[in-house]
Structure 1
């Protein structure tokens, strides 16, 4: 993949979309960690905490990019991303479990640790979409993380107002997973490199993930209605 080629911007777009969809919870964590501090300290906490989170996230993703070059790990990562795409559609969030810190440095520590723990899905998704290009990782994170942090309220409101954003994000993650699966070396040796196979498998898996997610959510609604009756 050449720098600033159509494939480069396609991958960059996928990284930004996945970070925005998967990063909503992280934005809430940042707000909740600093909510009890004095107003004049909150902006500094968010700035320093976000800076530390970006640094750790970038380093972790760059490590993941190189780890995915180990034979078999890209395939395993692709399977895990398919599961993540499904869970994105069906998981209920529990951000209220994040406590507000009482001190300036305590809030920063809370933000960095929480982001590192909650950002594992982002790390794998971005590393897979980057196709081994560290520059893509840095570009994607530099674009998306500030949007998530400083526009967190808008991101959450947009997701709540337009629920279709979640399935779109799930589809992007699933396509990234398929890309990882079909570009694993032993898979290439079996089926070769075929855009038709890649996009065909992507369409099938996206449809399957969206269907299973819809069915699971419908089942949850029916069970909730039954319990409430």
Structure 2
């Protein structure tokens, strides 16, 4: 049951954090002849997915180092906030004039834009590399065929963004609580971890909501 839950979490995070990646794919291949666009999208996506798996593998090993869980949790908390407040910008994405150039742009842009994705997946997977690979592979058809549709749904129904942001914030809190010194702090204060997780999640949602309202978005 826990395996299925983690798999669903990874899929949800992939869906929510891959919207910009879908824009990159579309923009990078827009100048190619129609018969080359499908090849650019396919090879660019598979290349990016391969590097993403490699980076998650490296991240999982890094998470074993002291204080990295705490630092990673804080970074993931920032990702949760950015998911709520960031705007999608596509105008400045370079377009490739050849198949090789388009594939290169897709791969490198995806890698740069997927660092938040990698951190979130590594935190959820909790060192289970097979779970990571399965979750990312299952996300391939989403990125190839459905990401732009999902991006439009997210823009139309902002509640999806809030659910994803809450999941990331909760995962960030759990990640921070894996740090030995953080655990000792709670034990010294005889405090339960649940109020901390709930408070952290609610705080991110409130701050993100206020920022969205300030920007005229809901």
* TM-score, shorter chain, exceeding 0.5: yes
1:154/1:93 Cα in 2 relative to 1: closer, same or farther (>3 Å)?
Answer: closer
Supply the distance in 2 between the matched residues of 1:93 and 1:154 (Cα, whole angstroms): 14
Aligned partners of 1:148 and 1:155 also within 8 Å = no
Q: CA deviation at 1:190?
A: 4.1
Which residue matches 2:206?
211
Matched, 1:161 2:156: yes
Aligned partners of 1:64 and 1:124 also within 8 Å = yes
Query: What is the SS of the residue equivalent to 1:95?
Result: coil
Q: CA deviation at 1:200?
A: 2.5
Q: TM-score, normalised by structure 2?
A: 0.92
Which residue matches 1:122?
117
Which residue matches 2:102?
107
Supply the distance in 1 between the matched residues of 2:90 and 2:138 (Cα, whole angstroms): 24
Supply the distance in 2 between the matched residues of 1:70 and 1:109 (Cα, whole angstroms): 33
Matches within 5 A, 1:1-229: 6-191=1-186, 197-221=192-216
Supply the distance in 1 between the matched residues of 2:92 and 2:194 (Cα, whole angstroms): 40
4+ aligned runs moved over 6 Å, structure 1? none
Q: TM-score, normalised by structure 1?
A: 0.88
Q: CA deviation at 1:175?
A: 1.0
Aligned partners of 2:15 and 2:147 also within 8 Å = no
Q: CA deviation at 1:46?
A: 0.8
Q: CA deviation at 1:157?
A: 2.0
Which residue matches 1:227?
none
Q: Runs of 5+ in structure 1 lacking a partner? A: 1-5, 223-229
Over aligned residue pairs, what C-alpha RMSD do you find? 1.6
Aligned length: 214
